[in-house]
Amino acid sequence: MEPDVECPDVDPETFSEKGFTILPELIAPKVCEALNVRLEHLLKGDYDLGVAPSKVPGAKELRRYGSGGSKVNTLRIVDAWKADALFQRVVLSPVLGRLAATLGGWSGARVAEDQVWIKPPGAGPLVFHRDSPYFDFEPDHVITIWIALDAMTPELGPLEYVVGSHRWEGRRGTAAQFFDPSHRQLMEDAARQQGLQPEQVDVVPVLVKQGGAGCHDGCAAAGKAGLHFGTPDRGSAFRA
């Protein structure tokens, strides 16, 4: 199956002002369905390219995910594209490369990684964080294209962006704090350092249908609320 990536019309100036842009459609819903099927294979250790992803959930996390119990966590797979042919076709698609380059103001783009996030019902929030500090890049410029593998609704606790936060100075989150229950604390502390009270912070959810996307500057703050019940929230973040 070809990835069917739509070539989106983006405005790099608005992106650079806000630190993100939301694309109602980027890849075809039928491709998302096929990716979700492949995702279940990846979680079972079935890699059609014969190579494991860089990181997969541990056995305990997988048992909890399958049990539907209360101690369930968000699962992550890093570099599904190395293990799975369909993920690879999407992640290496020239349209995504051009999109990242356009938003970054670059002449081209290289894949840094992809991360698939699976937040099942019962999983807690994701701390507002910035992506760039996790990469040892010089210059420190990362663009993330996050694709909704499921339709996003407010009840799912979708990915959210803080308008203009890519220009904030100061504190940055670390991976150790990813799943802290007070998921806005770091971001609100950083906002106060800019002279902003929490109620002045403009938070925009990525409410898109399946195959829509949020693209963000690696210095923008992104996070999620928890998911109490319903269906999982799955998304694939491609970073360049």
Measured CA to CA in angstroms, residue 41 lies from 46, 83, 91, 162, 232 at distances of 5, 11, 18, 34, 16
Q: How far is the CB of 45 from ligand AKG (least distance, A)?
A: 22
In the complex with ligand AKG, which residue's Cβ is closer, 50 or 53? 53
Burial state string for 181-215 with b = 16 or more CB within 10 A and e = fewer than 16 = eebbebbbebbeeeebeeeebeeebbbbebbbbbb
Burial state string for 14-47 with b = 16 or more CB within 10 A and e = fewer than 16 = ebeebbbbbbeebbbbebbeebbebbeebbeeeb
Q: Is 146 in the site for ligand AKG (CB under 6 A)?
A: yes
Total residues interacting with ligand AKG, rule: CB under 6 A: 12
Nearest to 54 by CA among 29, 91, 98: 91
Q: Is 65 in the site for ligand AKG (CB under 6 A)?
A: no
Strand partners, 203: 162
Q: Is 159 in the site for ligand AKG (CB under 6 A)?
A: yes
Q: How far is the CB of 159 from ligand AKG (least distance, A)?
A: 5
Measured CA to CA in angstroms, residue 32 lies from 47, 88, 135 at distances of 18, 13, 27
Q: Is 142 in the site for ligand AKG (CB under 6 A)?
A: no
One character per residue 184-223, x = contact with ligand AKG (rule: CB under 6 A): --------------------------------------x-
Q: Is 131 in the site for ligand AKG (CB under 6 A)?
A: yes
Q: Is 84 in the site for ligand AKG (CB under 6 A)?
A: no
**Using CB under 6 A, which residues numbered 12 to 51 contact ligand AKG?**
none
Alpha helices in the chain (DSSP H): 12-18, 29-43, 59-67, 85-91, 94-104, 185-193
CA distance 47 to 37: 12
In the complex with ligand AKG, which residue's Cβ is closer, 126 or 240? 126
Q: How far is the CB of 50 from ligand AKG (least distance, A)?
A: 26
Contact region with ligand AKG (CB under 6 A), list: 15-23, 40-48, 113-121, 163-171: 113-121
In the complex with ligand AKG, which residue's Cβ is closer, 131 or 217? 131
- Give the footprint of ligand AKG on this chain (CB under 6 A): 115, 117, 119, 126, 131, 144, 146, 159, 222, 224, 235, 237
